[in-house]
Structure 1
Amino acid sequence: MSEDKKAGQKAQDAANFHAELEQAKAKWEADILQPILDKYGVRKEEFKLSDGEPIDLVYGPQDGVAPQDYADTLGLPGQYPFTRGTQPTMYRGRLWTMRQYAGFGSAAESNERYRYLLKQGTTGLSVAFDLPTQMGFDSDSPRADGEIGKVGVAIDTIADMEVLFDQIPLDKVSTSMTINSTASILLALYIAVGEKKGISADKLRGTIQNDVLKEYIARGTYIYPPRPSMRIITDIFGFCQSDVPNWNTISISGYHIREAGSTAAQELGFTLANGIAYVEAAMKAGLDIDEFAGRLSFFFNVHNNFLEEVAKFRVARRMWARLIKERFGAKAARSMQLRFHSQTAGSTLTAQQPQVNVVRVALQALASVMGGTQSLHTNSWDEALSLPAEDAVRLALRTQQVIAYESGVADFIDPLAGSYALEAISARLEEKALDYIARIDDLGGAPAAIEHGFQQSEIQEAAYQAQLRQERGEDVIVGVNRFQTESAPPTGLLRVDEEVGRLQIERLREFKASRSMSQVDEARAALKKAAEGSDNLMPYILDAVKKKVTLGEISDTLRGVFGEYVERVVL
């Protein structure tokens, strides 16, 4: 028999097998299942995924990947399209990086927390900055009043950055910084502090979030309009490619999109569409895809629907690999590998019966590991009420360590391989996410779609529908709409002392009084001229922080050239 005939026979056999399965399933549903459903008054439509899509009664081989599509759809771990993981050995070779997102009050207080976490076994730092730092305002700005050190650490100057990383070996620790509009400034400060410690920029490892598009979509800590913001991002790509080669220049973030109320498919589609926009901007700026794509990383949310979240991570790897290879012509395998940090879902934490959050976080963390994360932050149980206290942070870290060292799941390279339900959910998620990307393409790409309010309105509708399902009791939230109890609020919650703000302003004034204003003015003038032209801005920003120009002053210099973005309200 010829090869063509053999292939044809195999396809026919598979079709016959699936037809037989469908007949058997239909007979089982009518003869076995339906009488039970009728007896107990259960409707099969009651069981749904997070976006309200129904879950099938039962899954089988007909819902999995066809044998002829196996290599292109799944492959093997470490092999294109990387559905089953970016590394062939996964956690057998190296566990995921255990990060705990932290930062509050002063740089000294945050430094103390970082050193505590490192002693407890954290393998990477993750820095939270306060809102003034994120928005490009110094602590002495009227816009910073009441917010200094509240949701993260206040960083105004190179002196603050030195205190933040005191006694921390920057050449041995990987640092992630959750910062977007002022990412270029915080990276420059980190490089400058490294140099003061005798550590050259090429020895630094870490990530800046640097994803401003999702700020326009879901979070709001933007400064400049989209076009100059995209320019700053691509300038960072180009600078790090030559000067900070081990740094991940962006963490394209679906996390905040999901926190704003999106579905899993929207998180996938909108995040990858933003990724496409960043790649297009970088290539337009003259960068080669295989020279920068390997330093792109992603940041995803881990929500409560266990199998849906595992499927989301597998699909994200597959979709990105295909996009980078087929749409942008990448040749290097590393360029096609989607590497991601994950964080358990803050929006699922409840103030009611907050200790139950420990269970939610553990399940979400396990889903992230089963989905093949490279880095993970586990939220603390008290974060619905306050910044996390020290014992709560330790328990959150111990959650990761128990999964890593006691559960046994890290011993399996792809522990959920072969699940028919998982593959069916994956196919549905991929179809929906690709449809969102196509609709965004039709609008002219992610920045143009944002200007139309497309992503924002889609998320608002999804969040509204989710809220309705909770209010109707269709989606059960333990302790909120079912299983409520009356109990006193927990004690020992962390509160940032108001004195932190006053002391930070005092330190900032002393810093400003100690510097050479001629050097400050010279650095700001050079930065302004570069912003008005086409030079890469990073060398000018790095020179400015070394000459003691503050974060707010650098931001104001760029505001003077680029202007400020005014949000388009979507109803």
Structure 2
Amino acid sequence: MKTKNQWLQSVYAPATQKFPERKYNFKTLSDLDPEPIYTQDDLAQDFDVERDLGYPGEYPFTRGVQASMYRGRLWTMRMFAGFGSAEQTNERFHALLKAGQTGLSTAFDLPTLMGYDSDHPFSRGEVGKCGVAVSSLADMEILFQGIDPETVTTSMTINSPANAIWAMYIANAQKQGKDLNKVGGTIQNDILKEFIAQKEFIYPPAPSVKLVIDTFEWGPRVLPKWNFISVSGYHIREAGATAVQELAFTLADGFHYVEKAIERGLDIDEFAPRISFFWDVHNDFFEEIAKFRAARRIWARQMRERYGAKNPKSWMLRTHAQTAGVSLPAQQPLNNIARVAIQALAAVLGGTQSLHTDSYDEALALPTEEAATIALRTQQIIAYETGVAGVVDPLAGSYYIEKLTNDIEAAAMGYIEQIRALGGVEVGIDAGFFQAEMAEAAYRYQKEVESKDRIIVGVNDFVQDNVEVPIQLIDPEVERVQAQRLARVRRERDPNRAQSALDALRDAAVTGANTMPAFLECAHAYVTLGEQMDILKTVYGEYTEPVMV
């Protein structure tokens, strides 16, 4: 049998003389340069089936964290939703559940994400625009009215104010008389990626991470089925990172939380099984699949060999995925339906545990109900009509997939070791390391698009007049309704209980105690989100990002 090099010289070279390779950028979005063909020769030196691949549900989990994967249970179809008032989003939640969605994912508006009440002057014009407005337990009660937290898992994308918002969700479940041992879901709660990418921070890194570790300590004992963090690469990727950078920076964040929890004196095998991850799924089909596989392998090896975790569940990287909003242009938006379908298929072949598919109108406005339904139907077609859910990790053994998985793992580990040599994630944030790396990657990508070295259909080639599509607008009346509700909450709550709860929150922050019990009492006392964040500002201060020259 010919070797790879023999074939390239004797067959491929003459073929390309007759039909030269296209003037096309074959490089992946991480600038990895694939060869024309892959064979067993590419795996001979650095690939061991038992060490690197194994079986699904077994260390190092390259092939998936569950043995039966989608033959036993499909991924959770968890569509991201939230807009306007709590009433409007509750209505959308019920519509999505009726359409066959199997889990909820909550988007909050910018004031909520930044820890401001809806009636704060900084909130004007932004209430309900990019998600739902939640300022107190009163909003949370309406938001999840008619939805059983014991049977429907909920994910909440919130970070700086995560402890307070999570406490409101828990308080709502308690008021309904629910068993917290049965309440499942995920709070994003990944503050490090805010400093790296999304910039929705309030306090400096050190006290912000302290608040995260409070949930690590408190969560497993109170809500054992809840994932108290979703370490997020999504926003890092959306900010311009490559797939390799997304993988490396996200895992570095995860390891940082693990180290801080161990410093707190926590048992790694108590908190690690409830850590989850959240990945972006971009256009480069095979690179995205390999990224998921490399992520599981890196996490498993590091958790077992570096951090000494003994419980196999601590080695398992469980993940949610979302198709890449940044990849969906406003030009010819209906083309985005095809992009989302391909990205979603990559997430499934990569072994995700839950998935959100973006709507085709992502670049124009919050999704209409029709657009959101098409996005959900895309997942259902993949699940029930393509056959890909019938085989666990069907691409395992592909020469290209295995080599690409190895290459991505090696490149990501190179970044992780570089971050460790800098002194860790927080030092890297202060030094502007992440910003510089992502800026360079984004610049390179934009140059490729502008020079047509990388074709984006409908944007820099195959251009035509835009198709008009309906978009969803947010009624400014939402802001007035929110202000009225907040005024009623402050008027009708027990002022002594509210003040006592705020005092306890401040005291916990001052003394370094776990803040979650105080946050929970604040929720039950109807202390507003802004009031809680403001009291912590008096203890922790506010963070201003340094200017990088």
* TM exceeding 0.5: yes
Map of 1:532 onto structure 2:
510
Cα deviation for residue 43 of structure 1 reads 6.1
- CA separation of 1:366 and 1:139: change in aligned 2, threshold 3 A: same
Cα deviation for residue 64 of structure 1 reads 3.0
Question: Secondary structure at 1:32's aligned position in 2?
Answer: helix
- Is 2:486 aligned against 1:508? yes
CA distance in 2, matches of 1:52, 1:44: 16
Map of 2:260 onto structure 1:
281
- CA separation of 1:355 and 1:45: change in aligned 2, threshold 3 A: closer
2:191 counterpart (193, 198, 212)? 212
Cα deviation for residue 424 of structure 1 reads 1.2
Q: Verify the 8 A CA contact 1:476 1:482 in the aligned structure 2.
A: yes
Map of 1:161 onto structure 2:
140
Letter of the structure 1 residue corresponding to residue 262 of structure 2: M
Map of 2:541 onto structure 1:
563
Map of 1:36 onto structure 2:
15
Larger mean CA deviation between 517-526 and 412-421 belongs to 517-526
- CA separation of 1:299 and 1:67: change in aligned 2, threshold 3 A: closer
Cα deviation for residue 223 of structure 1 reads 0.6
- Is 2:328 aligned against 1:349? yes
CA distance in 2, matches of 1:46, 1:346: 22
- CA separation of 1:27 and 1:64: change in aligned 2, threshold 3 A: closer
Letter of the structure 2 residue corresponding to residue 567 of structure 1: E
Question: Secondary structure at 2:48's aligned position in 1?
Answer: helix
Cα deviation for residue 228 of structure 1 reads 0.5
Question: Secondary structure at 1:238's aligned position in 2?
Answer: helix
Map of 1:172 onto structure 2:
151
Q: Verify the 8 A CA contact 1:201 1:243 in the aligned structure 2.
A: yes
Cα deviation for residue 418 of structure 1 reads 1.1
- Is 2:400 aligned against 1:434? no
Letter of the structure 1 residue corresponding to residue 342 of structure 2: L
Q: Verify the 8 A CA contact 1:65 1:423 in the aligned structure 2.
A: no
Question: Secondary structure at 1:293's aligned position in 2?
Answer: helix
Cα deviation for residue 203 of structure 1 reads 1.9
Cα deviation for residue 66 of structure 1 reads 6.2
Map of 1:452 onto structure 2:
431
Letter of the structure 1 residue corresponding to residue 132 of structure 2: V
CA distance in 2, matches of 1:65, 1:407: 33
Letter of the structure 2 residue corresponding to residue 232 of structure 1: L
Unaligned runs of 5+ in 1: 1-19
- Is 2:474 aligned against 1:496? yes
Cα deviation for residue 44 of structure 1 reads 8.2
1:546 counterpart (501, 524, 547)? 524
CA distance in 1, matches of 2:230, 2:527: 26
Letter of the structure 1 residue corresponding to residue 372 of structure 2: V
Q: TM-score, normalised by structure 1?
A: 0.94
Q: Verify the 8 A CA contact 2:322 2:358 in the aligned structure 1.
A: yes
Map of 2:309 onto structure 1:
330
CA distance in 2, matches of 1:488, 1:63: 46
CA distance in 2, matches of 1:533, 1:208: 25
Cα deviation for residue 41 of structure 1 reads 4.0
The 5 Å alignment of 1:184-199 reads 184-199=163-178
Map of 2:453 onto structure 1:
474
Cα deviation for residue 568 of structure 1 reads 2.0
Map of 2:374 onto structure 1:
395
Question: Secondary structure at 1:385's aligned position in 2?
Answer: coil
Q: Verify the 8 A CA contact 1:148 1:154 in the aligned structure 2.
A: yes
CA deviation string 1:189-212 (max 9, x = no partner):
001000111103222100000000
CA deviation string 1:413-432 (max 9, x = no partner):
11101110111111111111
CA distance in 1, matches of 2:160, 2:400: 40
RMSD: 1.4
Unaligned runs of 5+ in 2: none
Question: Secondary structure at 1:71's aligned position in 2?
Answer: helix
Cα deviation for residue 32 of structure 1 reads 2.4
CA distance in 1, matches of 2:396, 2:472: 42
- Is 2:142 aligned against 1:142? no
Q: Verify the 8 A CA contact 1:45 1:54 in the aligned structure 2.
A: no
- CA separation of 1:373 and 1:65: change in aligned 2, threshold 3 A: farther
Cα deviation for residue 63 of structure 1 reads 1.8
CA distance in 1, matches of 2:405, 2:138: 48
Cα deviation for residue 534 of structure 1 reads 1.9
Map of 2:59 onto structure 1:
80
Cα deviation for residue 350 of structure 1 reads 1.2
CA deviation string 1:158-191 (max 9, x = no partner):
1100000000011100000000001101110001
Cα deviation for residue 219 of structure 1 reads 0.3
- Is 2:243 aligned against 1:240? no
Letter of the structure 1 residue corresponding to residue 224 of structure 2: P
CA deviation string 1:2-23 (max 9, x = no partner):
xxxxxxxxxxxxxxxxxx85xx
CA distance in 2, matches of 1:368, 1:418: 18
CA distance in 2, matches of 1:338, 1:236: 19
- CA separation of 1:318 and 1:68: change in aligned 2, threshold 3 A: closer
Letter of the structure 2 residue corresponding to residue 229 of structure 1: S
Q: Verify the 8 A CA contact 2:4 2:39 in the aligned structure 1.
A: no
CA distance in 2, matches of 1:207, 1:54: 37
- Is 2:410 aligned against 1:406? no
Q: Verify the 8 A CA contact 1:128 1:153 in the aligned structure 2.
A: yes
Higher Rg of the two aligned structures:
1
CA distance in 1, matches of 2:5, 2:23: 14
Q: TM-score, normalised by structure 2?
A: 0.98
Cα deviation for residue 488 of structure 1 reads 4.4
CA distance in 2, matches of 1:569, 1:73: 42
2:203 counterpart (211, 214, 224)? 224
Q: Verify the 8 A CA contact 2:90 2:145 in the aligned structure 1.
A: yes
Tell me the matched-pair count.
549
CA distance in 1, matches of 2:283, 2:324: 8
CA distance in 1, matches of 2:54, 2:264: 34
Map of 1:522 onto structure 2:
500
- CA separation of 1:68 and 1:458: change in aligned 2, threshold 3 A: closer
1:293 counterpart (264, 272, 276)? 272
Q: Verify the 8 A CA contact 1:46 1:54 in the aligned structure 2.
A: no
Question: Secondary structure at 2:543's aligned position in 1?
Answer: coil
CA distance in 1, matches of 2:93, 2:277: 23
CA distance in 2, matches of 1:249, 1:516: 30
Cα deviation for residue 57 of structure 1 reads 1.5
Map of 1:379 onto structure 2:
358
Question: Secondary structure at 1:320's aligned position in 2?
Answer: helix
CA deviation string 1:473-523 (max 9, x = no partner):
111100001100113422x21000111111111111111111222222111
Question: Secondary structure at 1:101's aligned position in 2?
Answer: strand
Map of 1:368 onto structure 2:
347
CA distance in 1, matches of 2:44, 2:67: 20
Larger mean CA deviation between 413-422 and 100-109 belongs to 413-422
CA distance in 1, matches of 2:14, 2:546: 54
1:151 counterpart (123, 130, 133)? 130
CA distance in 1, matches of 2:4, 2:66: 37
Letter of the structure 1 residue corresponding to residue 134 of structure 2: I
Q: Verify the 8 A CA contact 1:44 1:57 in the aligned structure 2.
A: no
